[in-house]
Structure 1
Amino acid sequence: MWNNRGLLDVIKSFLPPFSKLIILEAPIKRPAVMMADLDGDGVLELIGVYNWQGENYIIVLKYYLGAWYVADIIKGKGYNITYFNVAPITGKNKNNLVIGWQVASIWSDLSMYEWTDMGLMDLIEGNKYYSMIEVKDIESKQGKDGIYELALWIHDTGDAYKVEIYRWSDDKFVLASDVYPYYYEKVVNYYKELLKENDSSTYWYYLADAQMKTGNTQEALQSIDRSLAFEYPYPSREELMDLRRDICEYIPFQNEDGIDFSDVEYICSETERDIKLEKALIKEFELEENEYNIRYYYNKVDLNEDGSPEVFVYLVGFPLCGTGGCSAAIFKQEEGEYNLLARFSLVNNPVIISDSKTKGYRDIIMYVSGGGIESFFALIKYDGMAYPSNPSIQPKVEPGTKVRGIAIVADDISKNPGITLED
Structure 2
Amino acid sequence: MKMALIILLIFGGMNFSSILVPAEQIQGPSLMKMVEKFKPSNAILIKADRPSSAKPIQFYDFNHDEQKEIIITYEIKAKEQPSPSQFGVMILKKEKDGNWRKLFNDHVQGVDLDFSVLADITGNGVNDYLWGVTIGAAAGSQLKVIHWNGTSFKEIADEPYHKIDLVKGNKKLGITAWHMYLGDSHLVDVLKWNGEKLVYDQELYSTYYPIIEKFYKNKIRKLDAWYYWYCLADAQIKANSFDEASKSIKKGK
TM beyond 0.5: yes
Residues 19-68 of structure 1, C-alpha deviations (whole Å, 9 max, x = no match):
21123233438642211122343432110122346433322122345845
Q: In structure 1, which of residues 115, 119, 130 is the aligned counterpart of residue 148 of structure 2?
A: 115
| Displacement after TM superposition at 1:168 (Å) | 0.7
**Which of 124, 131, 134 pairs up with 2:165?**
134
Q: Between the two proteins, what is the percent identity of the paired residues? A: 24
Consecutive unaligned residues in structure 1, runs of 5 or more: 229-423
Which of the pair has more CA radius of gyration?
1
CA distance in 1, matches of 2:53, 2:151: 32
Question: What is the TM-score normalised by the length of structure 2?
Answer: 0.76
For residue 131 of structure 2, the aligned residue among 96, 99, 108 is 99
Residue 199 of structure 1 pairs with residue 224 of structure 2: yes
Q: Tell me, what secondary structure is at the counterpart of 1:178?
A: helix
Conserved in 2, the CA contact under 8 Å of 1:40 and 1:93? Answer: no
**Distance in structure 2 (CA, Å) of the matches to 1:217 and 1:117:** 44
AA paired with 1:101?
V
What CA distance in whole angstroms lies between the structure 2 residues aligned with 1:190 and 1:153? 12
Q: Superposition pairs for residues 263-302 of structure 1, below 5 Å?
A: none
Contact kept? 1:39, 1:95, Cα under 8 Å: no
1:182: Cα distance to partner?
1.7
**Superposed counterparts of 1:411-422, under 5 Å:** none
Shift of 1:117: 6.0
Distance 1:159 1:128, change over 3 A: same
Partner of 1:165: 190
Structure number with higher helix proportion: 2
2:45 matched to 1:21? yes
Match of 1:70 in 2: 101
Kindly tell me: are residues 74 and 104 of structure 1, through their superposed partners in 2, closer, same or farther at Cα, counting changes over 3 Å? same
Give the 5 Å matches for 1:3-22: 6=28, 7-8=31-32, 10-22=34-46
Residues matched between the structures, number: 217
Q: Offset at 1:8?
A: 4.9
Taking only aligned residues, the RMSD between alpha carbons, in angstroms, comes to 2.5
Aligned to 1:60: 91
Cα distance, 1:197 vs. partner?
Answer: 0.4
Q: SS of 1:77's equivalent?
A: strand
Separation (CA, whole Å) in 1 of partners of 2:215 and 2:179: 14
The 2-side partners of 1:117 and 1:18 are apart by: 32
| Contact 1:149–1:165 (8 Å) recurs in 2 | yes
Q: What is the rounded CA distance, in whole Å, between the counterparts of 2:27 and 2:50 in structure 1?
A: 19
Which residue is 2:249 aligned to? 224
1:30 and 1:168, CA in 2 relative to 1: closer, same or farther beyond 3 A?
Answer: closer
CA distance in structure 1 between the partners assigned to 2:182 and 2:56 by the alignment: 30
Measure the CA separation in 2 of the matches of 1:136 and 1:211.
17
- 1:84-110 superposed Cα distances (whole Å, 9 cap, x missing partner): 111111123121111112211361111
